Amino acid sequence: MECEVLVVGAGPAGSGAARSSAMSGARTLMVDKKKEIGTPVQCGEVIGLDLVKMARMRIPSAAIVARQSFTRFVLAREVIIDNAEPYWKGVTVERKVFDKHLAFRAASAGASVQADTKLLSVEGRDGEVISCLLNHHGEEVEISPRAIVAADGVHSTLARELGVEFFSPRDVARGMEFELVAKRDIPQGMQIFIEGEIGLGYGWIIPKGRRRANVGVGLVGVNASRRSFLEDWISEHPVVSRYFDVDKVLEVKMGDAPVPGFLGGPVKGNVLFCGDAAGQTLAFVGEGIMPSYLCGTLAGKHAASLAQGRGQDYENELMKVMGDHLMMGAALRDTLVQLWSSEHMDDVTRSLLSGAVMNELVGPEGLEEVLSSLEREPLKALQSLIRDSGRKIRARRC
């Protein structure tokens, strides 16, 4: 199991890293502690098509279960915004299929891939990792890679072993969702729910067909049982309960998503962090599949360069390639935090303003200007902002 580059974690970030490292000529090993890559599913399974184009990737048809031609924002249970701009179009994938496809691509490029192989500990010297202890199919194995890619998620073993913390618990959205059978046909667009009942987090319906969807909530700063919260939210929500009961659950999915904003890398010695381990998500909605893959691809390329004695420039190239996307997400997230921390407006107004910000109808500097009009005539105010934007967005009452 000797290698020059060790990639820890076989999600999109890890598979992107392993593939690019192998293609750069480095002997590459990717390990994942799970017995089956892609399980259990821990996210909403939606992918924005803009970033797919950026990655020049073709998602296999076997992995796609639904296509979304728009995204719907349900604000304060009162107003709906439908956004059909290219950025808000996407597909729903079966992560079990998609993640294995990405791992297959890494293996086909020359990387070794080992499921059921867990990183136990690392030994360091002079600020770099010199050896890693793995549990491989129940047996302990020690290896000495020259560079390591940490793609092992929000609760990264490598971060813990190195004694670093890139984001605090308040920067983590605690997600819970049910894959449900619907009572009737559901809209074929992702729906995002912004409301006082959830606060700084959000709810979602992500279609997986005409009568099937992932229905969940991401809780930020809410100290409550995720399952109980989600069951009550589905049952009591006037929009969600039209389509779903909690007695037809096909799968329960739970996971955490980092939403800290752009961290710039990071790199610690010969360890390059990427994906959820580095908070590389679109921070205002927590989407991480394609951002993780793109950032992982860069991490793998520079890990191979480092292992081959040429040094690395991961953080600078990351800024050039992904900086705009990740920093935009961070700026929107910071504005949302500001809104939900304000004591000078009610939850309905916060929700409406949050929807306007997420759809980029108003920036941080324009919040005060539209606040009074939203409080007086919320729908008319949103429609006026949409007209001024000239984009493919519509607003109406629920």
DSSP 54-94: HHT----GGGEEEEES-EEEEETTTEEEEE-SGGG-EEEE-
Mean pLDDT taken over the chain: 93
- We report the CATH number of the domain holding residue 103 as 3.50.50.60
Provide, rounded to the nearest whole percent, the portion of the chain with pLDDT above 70. 100
pLDDT given for residue 374 in this prediction: 86
- Look at residue 50 and tell me whether its pLDDT is greater than 80: yes
Do 304 and 26 contact (CB within 8 A), yes or no?
A: yes
Distance between alpha carbon 359 and the CA centroid of its chain, in Å? 18
Same domain, 34 and 100: yes
The conformation of residue 161, written as its DSSP 8-state character, comes to: H
Instruction: List, in order, residues 6 or more apart from 143 with CB less than 8 Å away.
Output: 1, 2, 3, 6, 29, 131, 132, 134
pLDDT given for residue 264 in this prediction: 80
Same domain, 290 and 372: no
Same domain, 264 and 390: no
pLDDT digits (tens, 9 = 90+) for 97-151: 999 999 999 999 999 999 999 999 999 999 999 999 999 999 999 999 999 999 9
Q: Let me know if residue 82 belongs to a domain.
A: no
User: Residue 174 CB: number of other CB atoms within 10 A?
Assistant: 20
Residue 239: phi and psi, rounded to 5, are -90, -50
Which sign, positive or negative, has the C-alpha torsion 96, 102, 103, 108?
positive
pLDDT given for residue 144 in this prediction: 97
Range of the domain at 391: 336-397
DSSP 246-296: TT-EEEEEEEEEE--------EETTEEE-GGGGT-SBTTTTB-HHHHHHHH
The conformation of residue 171, written as its DSSP 8-state character, comes to: G
| Joined tokens for residue 326 | 């990740």
Same domain, 371 and 317: no
- Provide the pairing of β-strand 267-268 with 249-258: unpaired
Please give the tally of structural domains in the chain: 2
Beta bridge partner(s), residue 30:
7, 113
Q: Let me know if residue 110 belongs to a domain.
A: yes
pLDDT band per the 50, 70, 90 thresholds, residue 337: confident
- Model confidence, pTM: 0.93
- Look at residue 89 and tell me whether its pLDDT is greater than 80: yes
pLDDT digits (tens, 9 = 90+) for 244-272: 999 999 999 998 888 877 778 899 999 99
Last residue in a domain, options 302, 328, 354: 328
pLDDT band per the 50, 70, 90 thresholds, residue 85: very high
Distance between alpha carbon 101 and the CA centroid of its chain, in Å? 18
Same domain, 272 and 350: no
Same domain, 294 and 265: yes
Q: Let me know if residue 186 belongs to a domain.
A: no
Residue 294: phi and psi, rounded to 5, are -65, -45
**Selection from 131, 73, 83 nearest residue 354 by Cα:** 73
pLDDT given for residue 195 in this prediction: 95
Last residue in a domain, options 297, 328, 359: 328
- Provide the pairing of β-strand 90-93 with 112-114: unpaired
